[in-house]
Structure 1
């Protein structure tokens, strides 16, 4: 009976938890204010290739999909977490850990995921091999808290991460492995001798160096498994920025509002990086928010910077309101995502869009439909997005500007949802075309441009507007 009570409470609170999580994580994972460019030529080259791609998918999938609740965070005792007060914390943790015995995604179809991402026009993927709760979506030998040690273990695709990576490689995607540096299931991180107060490790590392060294060994070995046994990887996406050397904690980190321990949660990133790049030459490392040589690009979360940035960066955002599966998602529209993508790219970034598969192992029809709509727009207008770089003047109101590597320029005009395409388009004369004509990408119409009152002005005929079938944003090309 107790298990059913906890499940009902979780379902009731699931949406609340997801919304609270977004509010908390918005504050937690803004981009660093300092960037240190990589010096390894192979990393520099791969980072440039990644910057050409612009649009990717991040997939959160784990035991939290079974009840459709916030990923991992409900285990954490912090003020913003709202668990059912009638259920004890220990009972809740036992129930959550026990979801391992219920997670049996017999319909798991990574090719369906890859097809949906490909149809969306995405070019790279980041898959959660392990979130903070410590449940492993790969066949690690470091723990039995994994997908291959439960009811799914005899399935031919039980080693989930391997098959996800293979499915996306067949679509020629860059492959990224998400890995959580904190592991709340590990006795070397959350020691059962003590209470688990918050996201940090729950014992004084200075007094228990052996235990922390075992955790460092555990982390190193798991990342080594991923680097050596799962084919070619392009990105190691490390989450949990509070696990870091104490000397890197600055006012930026303190502003998160989470407790900062007096000891260093240093996992020896130089040693990890050396091993990882020996196995995967040119590997892009994303040690989120830990500015330095292992944060090869920055990752503002659920937000877009208010200015253009000249460092590599990626906005990681959800398609719905939550990272993982929930029964009722508050979805973004195709128009909203297209507008977000245009703004992110014009400001020098890439968009990593979050999707959460069902507990059965499928991407829902609602997600697939929206992804296809985004891809339909990109199929026509993608030349203004892919392989582009920033322009000095990148925005004028609802118009964003990008340029190709050979200097060709694009104006992406955002059309507000529900509004008609205007007959007259204007943007700043600082982005005036060198000739008198520009090309409307969809339909191929030549449009005469003139400069009037400090603005470039273009007039679209009724027939040109009628030919536009993707009205989320219209794109002009000019020299």
Structure 2
């Protein structure tokens, strides 16, 4: 593939650049070890080590925002508006019109962000405790939120007419927050199939949806000069289960463009880049791909995404040190279905595995040997005016639980289409920040202890000779049996000025806890060993 040729050239240039660079002298600068130059093999990528900044940061916020926020009806609207019988289809008919005339392309124009202030939002996110921030570069809807050189359907050309990724990056840098981006459009190929169909009954039966439109159809329209096929993907038949070489190359080129211009320290992929594509089609295609046979699965496993995926990881790992004076700071997140033994060891070593909350199987019940990440939305992935929100204390406990098991929590924070947060979100950020201000020392910069916790109400983190025991619930007396063989020198409760009553015996550490507000409250005991 063309991208593999350019990858080889890039590696040669980087190696040459490093060889020709004089080493810093002890008098002028601290000497930095030369970064590893990776090859596109798992043996090479297995040398990767997760940088300390990510392991120390623990908590990130994710602006999961795109034109799909416009109807304020939640995630996957861009697909489901083309699915008769779906509530999004019915909503679209009532508020915008039939998808043969008004489709997702037209919603892209209505994504205004006219009240969006990334600087103010980033201040709120940092105050809430976030130490890294991730912005949605594109979703399955295939709309790029940056000044994309490879996708004309982008936020600079259509909608807000702003470089959303660029402005987020500047705001994060100003707040001293690590910046990341998430890329999801690898799913576009199968995800958008409904846009090429039509109603099977009713007055519009047989009238194709706007997914079939071409650039020529735009003459005299607001989107004149743009090609809907570049948004929805090429016209597809149900049998076209393998993405074309051109589609994969465009994906690679767009990711490379994103990396080259915005230098993110975290790059998140929403599954499938390592050859799991058959799952993509059974998952998104419904009955169209149900019962796919093993031979077809094997054929799809040979998708060029496998090669493009490992190539872009290699490119990212080799470029990142050039942005940081030779220091490797890259974090590559790949969302997989679980964290158990079915995940190849090479994946766990070569990147930071991500697991979406609630969507997939287990694995988070145990402490993980490698750093990992859990992502979850606050309310919903895209803005939904009917969303139900978790309590602040439940998010706090989720964070504590994940950190105790060697992970980070990435929390999605959807915005209205005008770029603002609602009152529930603002209240949450305030409450989260209040808690982190008191308890953050037991979160940031910690590592797992010898065990992650005790039953369902206690979780541990460690920093040097200090163990932090996080306790959930309004308990008057707590027994921590994991301290039965430890020598405890002192103990106090974070945020509580008075001395606690405690004693240690063969059963463990007995602590009397002051009365608290409710059963969900999470406190932290600082135990010096």
* TM-score, normalised relative to structure 2: 0.69
The answer (yes or no) to whether the contact 1:182–1:189 under 8 Å persists in 2 is: no
The answer (yes or no) to whether the contact 1:127–1:178 under 8 Å persists in 2 is: yes
Measure the CA separation in 1 of the matches of 2:85 and 2:353.
25
1:236–1:86 distance in 2 versus 1, CA, 3 Å? closer
1:204–1:359 distance in 2 versus 1, CA, 3 Å? closer
Corresponding residue for residue 335 of structure 1: 393
Measure the CA separation in 2 of the matches of 1:441 and 1:131.
40
Corresponding residue for residue 438 of structure 2: 380
Q: Which of 123, 127, 130 is the equivalent residue of 2:138?
A: 130
Corresponding residue for residue 147 of structure 1: 155
Q: Which of 458, 465, 488 is the equivalent residue of 1:435?
A: 488
Does 1:269 find its partner at 2:313? Answer: no
1:453–1:287 distance in 2 versus 1, CA, 3 Å? closer
Tell me how far 1:293 sits from its aligned partner. Answer: 4.6
Q: Which of 338, 357, 362 is the equivalent residue of 2:415?
A: 357
SS in 1 for 2:160: coil
1:404-433, CA deviations, whole angstroms, 9 ceiling, x for partnerless residues? Answer: 1x1311111112xxxxx4432222144565
Q: Which runs of 5 or more structure 1 residues have no equivalent in the other structure?
A: 1-35, 206-210, 416-420
Measure the CA separation in 1 of the matches of 2:502 and 2:54.
34
Q: Which runs of 5 or more structure 2 residues have no equivalent in the other structure?
A: 1-41, 193-227, 322-327, 337-342
SS in 1 for 2:394: helix
SS in 1 for 2:355: coil
SS in 2 for 1:178: strand
Measure the CA separation in 2 of the matches of 1:74 and 1:315.
25
Pairing of 1:33-432 with structure 2 (within 5 A): 43-44=48-49, 46=51, 48-72=52-76, 74-75=78-79, 83-84=88-89, 91=99, 94-153=102-161, 158-180=162-184, 181-184=186-189, 187=229, 192-195=234-237, 203-205=240-242, 212-230=244-262, 232-239=263-270, 241-245=271-275, 259=289, 262-263=299-300, 264-267=302-305, 268-281=308-321, 282=328, 283-289=330-336, 291=344, 292-293=346-347, 296-303=351-358, 305-320=364-379, 322-397=380-455, 398-404=457-463, 406-415=464-473, 421-430=474-483
Deviating more after overlay: 58-67 vs 450-459? 450-459
SS in 2 for 1:147: coil
1:84–1:469 distance in 2 versus 1, CA, 3 Å? closer
Measure the CA separation in 2 of the matches of 1:255 and 1:75.
13
Aligned-residue RMSD, C-alpha:
3.5
SS in 2 for 1:446: coil
1:429–1:306 distance in 2 versus 1, CA, 3 Å? closer
For the pair shown, the structure with the greater C-alpha radius of gyration is: 2
SS in 2 for 1:388: coil
The answer (yes or no) to whether the contact 2:138–2:182 under 8 Å persists in 1 is: yes
SS in 2 for 1:111: helix
1:190–1:319 distance in 2 versus 1, CA, 3 Å? closer
Corresponding residue for residue 477 of structure 1: 526
1:122–1:151 distance in 2 versus 1, CA, 3 Å? closer
1:412–1:383 distance in 2 versus 1, CA, 3 Å? same
SS in 2 for 1:299: strand
1:399–1:78 distance in 2 versus 1, CA, 3 Å? farther
The answer (yes or no) to whether the contact 1:165–1:175 under 8 Å persists in 2 is: yes
1:248-282, CA deviations, whole angstroms, 9 ceiling, x for partnerless residues? Answer: 979x9989997465423332223222332333233
Tell me how far 1:100 sits from its aligned partner. Answer: 1.4
Measure the CA separation in 2 of the matches of 1:92 and 1:439.
65
SS in 1 for 2:354: coil
1:40–1:306 distance in 2 versus 1, CA, 3 Å? closer
SS in 1 for 2:264: coil
Aligned length, in residue pairs: 413
SS in 2 for 1:161: helix
Deviating more after overlay: 104-113 vs 93-102? 93-102
Measure the CA separation in 2 of the matches of 1:364 and 1:127.
19
The answer (yes or no) to whether the contact 1:188–1:214 under 8 Å persists in 2 is: no
* TM-score, normalised relative to structure 1: 0.76
Tell me how far 1:90 sits from its aligned partner. Answer: 8.1
Tell me how far 1:351 sits from its aligned partner. Answer: 0.8
